[in-house]
Amino acid sequence: MKKLQITKNTMQGLPGYEISIINQKVSIQDLLDELNRFIEEGNLERLWPVEQHGCYGCDLCCHEPLPLTSIDVRNICQARGINLIDAYQYLWVEAQDNIIDITLRRVRGGKCIFLQSNSICSIYENRPFLCQTYICCQTAPLFEELRSQVVNTGMDELIRSSIHEFSSIGQTLPVNRSRNARVNIKDWEKNQFTGKKNYSQILIKNVLSSDLFKHMLL
């Protein structure tokens, strides 16, 4: 039985899609699987026509800052055969006061560090949540808010676990750009991402606000 429903829609006169939740036990991985299946079946009309920019080899969406979750970084570690400490060679950390953002590092021209010269992602099968949930078309506001809440919660755990991991080897979290940075693990509490190894272990309803989940539930 399907746990999600993805439907095409027109928003502001442009092609788009929206997602509704059917089963309350739907996981974040269920969402990713259904969305990837929807894309592969060619059910979407993209803003860029395929004859001009097919997704394969198109890097138009690979030049923006990409926030990460703890599971995104765990997947990168598995893909590269490294640990969390070593993963920071691929990450970029900015801190202002006690606000911290962790994104994928970008290289010359602002492109993602994992984007190869042939415009193909070198970690495509392990690409982050935001990459997998971005499609070159309009997105319903409710789904945009879902993406935001998932990433915010997942990044909070990434920050907490990273501070702890660096502290265990007598180091502080590496910050690439800072302004009055105050990095204190007490500012980061455990949440639904804590201790989880993959997105299959996290139910969407446990991450979203009750109001958002209610509005997305059929």
- Domain ranges in the chain are 4-216
User: Tell me, what's the pLDDT at 43?
Assistant: 63
φ, ψ of residue 177 in degrees (nearest 5): -145, 130
Q: How far is CA 134 from CA 56, 62, 138, in A?
A: 14, 11, 10
Could you tell me the strand order of the sheet in which 99-104 lies? 99-104, 91-96, 177-179
Mean pLDDT, all residues of the chain: 91
Asked if 36 and 7 touch (Cβ cutoff 8 Å), the reply is no
For 55, other C-beta atoms within 10 Å of its C-beta total: 14
Q: How far apart are CA 152 and CA 130, in angstroms?
A: 11
Name the least confident of 34-48, 104-118, 138-152.
34-48
30-45 pLDDT tens trace:
999 998 888 777 666 6
User: Tell me, what's the pLDDT at 8?
Assistant: 84
* The model's pTM: 0.93
